[in-house]
Amino acid sequence: MAKYLLTVIGQSNEIGAGPSGSRGRTSGFAAPYLDKTSLRSWWPSCVQACGKRDVWLDVANNAVGATSLCDSWVGRCRTWAANMVVIRGSYVLANGGLWRCDLAVSAAGASTVAPTGTSSVTGGDAIPWVYVGVPGAGDTDGTVYARTSPRYDPLGYIATALASLDNRPGFDAKGAYISIGQGDLTVSSTVSQYTQAMVTLAGHITSLGHTCFLGVTVGMSGADSVVRAARDTHMVNTIWAGRDAALASLSGNPLVKAGANLRQAIGVPASTANDTAISSVNNVDYVHMTSATFDQAGVIVANALGLAGW
C-alpha cells in the first residue's frame, strides 16, 4: 500500500467549518479521522476514497479560517488608501512607513485612518498596526513578496504547515495541498497577485522535495443575485484563473500537480442549499459547505490526487 502525507494550506472550508448544526462524519472507515478544529471536513471522505484504491493518506490540516493566500500566507504590499479592507498580515505603505495589520485572525476591517509614526499604533478606526520599519527597495505597491524577503510568510503559517511534514518517516511522498480564495476577495487580490502568490509558495514547497497540489476552493454564493454574481466573478476570474496561470507557469516542475477544481466540479451553492442528505441544515452563509457537500468534495479531491499519481 502506498503511503502519502499531506499538509493543508487553506481557510475555513478546508478546515471543515460548516453551518450551525451540520453533522460530523460518523460512518465509513475514515470516520475516526478528525480535523483539529472540526468533525466535518472533506478530509475523512477523501481519506476513505484513497483507501478504496489501496492508498494510505495521512492529512495534517493546517488551514486557517478567514485568511488570504496573498496577505496572510505569502505576503503582499499595498499603498494605504481610505476604506481599503485589511486582515491580519496585510502590509501597507503609509506616511513613510511599512505597516502590518494586527487584527484578530477571523476579523477584517476597512481602514479609514492611515497609520503614522514609528511605533505600533491603533487608529480611530480600531485597526491595529505593527510598525515594520522604513520601506526598502522591495516594498512597493502590489508586490507579492518572494521567499527570500523578510516580509514573506508574515504570520508563520507556511512554516507551521511545512513543519507538519518534518520528522515523519515511512511515507512514499509528502506534499502540500493549496486550496484557498474567499479571503482574497475580501482584500481585493488581483489575478496576477494571486498567481504570483501560488507560484512563490509552490516553488518553496517543491524546493524541499515535496509535491505541491494547486486546487480551486469551493464556489461562493450570496443572499441575492448581485452578491452571488460578484462573488462568483471573483472565484472564476481571480481564483480559478490564477490557479490555472500558476500551473502553466510551473509546468516544467514535475512536483507541481493540479488539485481538484471544486468550483468547477460542484458549482455555486444555491441560496437555499439544504443539507438534506445528512441533516436539515440550511447553508445560510452561502460560503461554507454543508456536511453532504463535504463528503462529495472529498471524493473529488481524492480523484485529483489519484490522477496526479498519488
Q: Could you give the CA distance from residue 48 to residue 57 in angstroms, rounded to a whole number?
A: 9
What's the pLDDT score for residue 38?
Answer: 64
Residue 31 has pLDDT above 70, yes or no: no
Select from 283, 193, 200 the least CA-distant residue to 13: 283
Q: What pLDDT, in 10s, does the model give residues 201-234?
A: 999 999 999 999 999 999 998 888 899 899 999 9
Q: Could you give the CA distance from residue 193 to residue 241 in angstroms, rounded to a whole number?
A: 11
Q: What pLDDT, in 10s, does the model give residues 50-67?
A: 999 999 999 999 999 999
Residue 106 has pLDDT above 90, yes or no: no
What's the pLDDT score for residue 139?
Answer: 98
What's the pLDDT score for residue 132?
Answer: 98
Q: What pLDDT, in 10s, does the model give residues 119-156?
A: 999 999 999 999 999 999 999 999 999 999 999 999 99
Beta pairing class for 211-216 and 173-179: parallel
Exposed, middle or buried by CB within 10 Å (0-12, 13-18, 19+), for 48?
Answer: buried
Q: Which residues lie across from 6 on neighbouring strands?
A: 59, 175
Q: Mean pLDDT, the chain, as a whole number?
A: 93
Q: Which residues lie across from 285 on neighbouring strands?
A: none
Q: Could you give the CA distance from residue 286 to residue 175 in angstroms, rounded to a whole number?
A: 30
Select from 9, 16, 111, 147 the least CA-distant residue to 67: 9
What's the pLDDT score for residue 151?
Answer: 98
Residue 35: C-alpha distances to residues 13, 31, 61, 113, 121 (Å):
12, 11, 6, 39, 36
What's the pLDDT score for residue 175?
Answer: 98
Domain borders along the chain are 2-69+148-307, 77-133
Residue 29 has pLDDT above 80, yes or no: no
Beta pairing class for 274-275 and 281-282: antiparallel
Per-residue cell: 75:
505576503
pLDDT band at 35 (very low <50, low <70, confident <90, very high): low
Listed range (33-47, 49-63, 66-80) with the worst mean pLDDT: 33-47
What's the pLDDT score for residue 37?
Answer: 58
What's the pLDDT score for residue 180?
Answer: 98
CATH of domain 2-69+148-307: 3.40.50.1110
pLDDT band at 283 (very low <50, low <70, confident <90, very high): confident
Residue 276 has pLDDT above 80, yes or no: no
